[in-house]
Amino acid sequence: MAVDNASYLMQFVDETSFYNRIVLSHLLPASLWEPLPHFLQTWLRNYLAGNLLYFISGFLWCFYIYHLKLNVYLPQDAIPTRKAMLLQIHVAMKAMPCYTLLPTVSEYMIESGWTRCYSRIGELSWILYFVSIATYLVLVEFGIYWMHRELHDIKPLYKHLHATHHIYNKQNTLSPFAGLAFHPVDGILQALPHVIALFIVPIHFTTHLGLLFMEAIWTANIHDCIHGNIWPVMGAGYHTIHHTTYKHNYGHYTIWMDWMFGSLKDPLLEDVDNRDISKKAE
């Protein structure tokens, strides 16, 4: 039985080694990464892949909304300055080595058999596969909501950690590059529910990695200030309100947690309220 379990866990090691080879062999000379221990190879792969994802998604999205679609989604005066975006990149780059340590540690725990991760989709039926993803995402949404809310409500945490992200508190200071511009500990705390969920619900290994790295794209999206108005998605319109009021819209993927716990503020209603205030002022 112990041999079978060790053989099963080796599937995870083989899979992470495969991903390491794919990324590292295309980006670095073999002499720089092959001598490294498996754990460091995995961290290096996550670090390089995280940087590529951050810069490629950020630059493409900025090019699209600020140049190709100038004045379609945002007026000229709402576009953040180059200085603001460079500051966001600087903050994100300082934190990236720590951010990418989290998926590296989670992969180590999976390889060690400590979690409920499974290696092959075929181990469960397709119905259970999608049910497990849905359950995983609900747990992650719940965890991120309360982690984010406590980073605001517990004043020392806000002052020493989360305030780094909230210096971007106006529409013309937010950009896709602000998505990862956090204090490193703050960024890890908000991603931690992805790892905690591994111990609660069975989840496919590669699916977990994909969802974790999709965070970089999602956080870029919710910091572009464009309200997509797709119910029940927690789009950028909602998150922009969060950056200006500091006490609404703590959710991540959806508005459901904010609706359940009384912190939801709808950007469309906000626009109506602002128009009413303007009319009264006239």
The closest alpha carbon to 66, from 50, 77, 55, belongs to 77
Q: At what angle do helices 38-63 and 2-27 cross, to 10 degrees?
A: 50
The closest alpha carbon to 145, from 22, 221, 251, belongs to 251
Query: Is it the case that residue 236 has pLDDT exceeding 90?
Result: no
The closest alpha carbon to 11, from 135, 168, 86, 117, belongs to 117
- What is the pLDDT, as a whole number, of residue 68? 87
- What is the pLDDT, as a whole number, of residue 229? 79
- Mapping DSSP to helix (H, G, I), strand (E, B) and coil, where does residue 256 land? helix
What number is the average pLDDT over the span 167-171?
A: 78
- Mapping DSSP to helix (H, G, I), strand (E, B) and coil, where does residue 265 land? coil
Mean pLDDT of the chain: 89
Integer Cα distance of 111 and 119 in angstroms: 10
What number is the average pLDDT over the span 263-281?
A: 59
Per-residue CA distances from 12 to 182, 192, 213 (Å): 31, 21, 18
Burial tier of 71 (Cβ tally within 10 Å: 0-12, 13-18, 19+): exposed
- What is the pLDDT, as a whole number, of residue 216? 79
Residue recorded with tokens 């508005």: 255
- What is the pLDDT, as a whole number, of residue 71? 77
Query: Is it the case that residue 281 has pLDDT exceeding 90?
Result: no
* Lowest-confidence segment of 115-119, 127-131, 211-215 by average pLDDT: 211-215
Q: Give Cβ neighbours of residue 200 (< 8 Å, ≥ 6 apart).
A: 116, 139
- What is the pLDDT, as a whole number, of residue 270? 61
Cβ atoms 171, 240 nearer than 8 A: yes
Integer Cα distance of 168 and 262 in angstroms: 24
pLDDT in tens, 16-36: 999 999 999 999 999 999 999
Integer Cα distance of 265 and 242 in angstroms: 9
Cβ atoms 194, 213 nearer than 8 A: no
What number is the average pLDDT over the span 163-175?
A: 84
